[in-house]
Chain A
């Protein structure tokens, strides 16, 4: 470990501690706002660390800087303006939108490293499996959360939408995802394998959320939030970065518990809500 790696790893550890304590403090109304602030401090530390790291390493070229800074600036502008302007009643769909892009970012990282490190060569399963999980889970949360946003905001009908033959379609999509997994793990890198995996997981996200009624959407958003956490953790495996693994796994687990509690508060079970999603004759809510 070089000095740079040691220092950056230690700061990442501090920011991970901030996230855990932040979540801990957010459980009570009195400390909740400070908890969110603490987790934001952790995020700030992590971002500063990676900026300093890539400046010192100096691998990034001019175009890399331009696309990075342009993407960040536009993203921050869009996110902050949306978050400030949105009426309080429309917050759930905005959270769902932010969740969608988080899943999208995780999927992009997986695709990037698969194409870059693979480059036509055979990959070890230790690399291709996290990429696969990252792309599939990220893809499902991206399209699923966008549909959830649409349903909550009224752009997509809040009623359960079922397509004829949904069950057979589901089975076909799952088989296609498994096939893409087989190709990505067992064969040398090919851009079409990862495109197939991404496309099929996007379709799966649609098929999963479209048939669920609008009233159940908050629970679904929370579940997809936990999914994104896992996608981010697998992105951490792909680029070998521990802060992504810790924060992603933390959100994945905490989000799962939160989903169960939210479903419980509505007197619904998560299985019941999702079963509605596969057209098993769930009543429209």
Chain B
């Protein structure tokens, strides 16, 4: 086993543990936004799309790089936008209530 692989494996296992730990019981209303937020985070695959585009050197690889970039960009840009929109709904309700109280 190379040193590089061992490092990556250690990072992988520890990150899994962090993922298990960081999710405690969350309210049911936040489950869908959380799913969407996590979905946006794995949009980090866009970094991988850059890496493969830099190595492409024939039409097969250019095609693959194009689809990689397109798919990943949809995931990351759409994911964050829709999560923010969903969470924005939570923001508005208490704020509107506060204004009513002030009146």
Contact = CB atoms under 8 A, between A and B. Distances in A.
Is B a genuine binding partner of A? yes
Interface stretch (A38-46, A163-171, A174-182, A269-277): A38-46
B92 to A, nearest CB: 11
Q: Which of A16, A57, A71, A111 has the most CB of B within 10 A?
A: A71
Q: Which of B27, B47, B62 has the most CB of A within 10 A?
A: B47
A250 B20 CA distance: 8
Contacts of A97: 78
Given A71-B65, A112-B68, A61 B57 contact: yes
A50 B50 contact: yes
Contacts of A80: 77-78, 81
A254 B11 CA distance: 16
B48 A244 contact: yes
Q: Which of B32, B36, B48, B90 has the most CB of A within 10 A?
A: B48
Contacts of A172: none
Interface in B4-62: 4-5, 8, 11-13, 15-20, 22-57, 60-62
A4 interface: no
Interface of A is mostly: helix
A20 B78 contact: no
Interface string B55-94: 1110011111111111111111111111111111111000
A26 B90 CA distance: 12
Contact of B35 (A28, A59, A225, A233): A225
A176 B10 CA distance: 31
Contacts of A265: 28, 31
A256 B54 CA distance: 33
Interface in A71-97: 71-76, 78-80, 82-84, 86, 88, 91-92, 94-95, 97
Q: Which of A22, A63, A82, A265 has the most CB of B within 10 A?
A: A63
Contacts of A22: 37, 41
B2 interface: yes
B19 A251 contact: yes
Contact of B49 (A68, A84, A254): A68
Interface of A: 15-16, 19-20, 22-24, 26-29, 32-33, 35-37, 39-40, 43, 46-47, 50-51, 54, 57, 59-61, 63-65, 67-68, 70-76, 78-80, 82-84, 86, 88, 91-92, 94-95, 97-99, 101-102, 104-106, 108-109, 111-113, 115-116, 126, 218, 221-222, 225-226, 228-229, 232-233, 235-237, 239-258, 261-262, 265
Given A72-B69, A247-B15, 17 more contacts: A16-B15, A26-B33, A33-B84, A36-B33, A36-B80, A43-B40, A60-B53, A67-B62, A71-B53, A72-B49, A76-B77, A83-B79, A95-B35, A108-B64, A228-B42, A239-B52, A243-B47
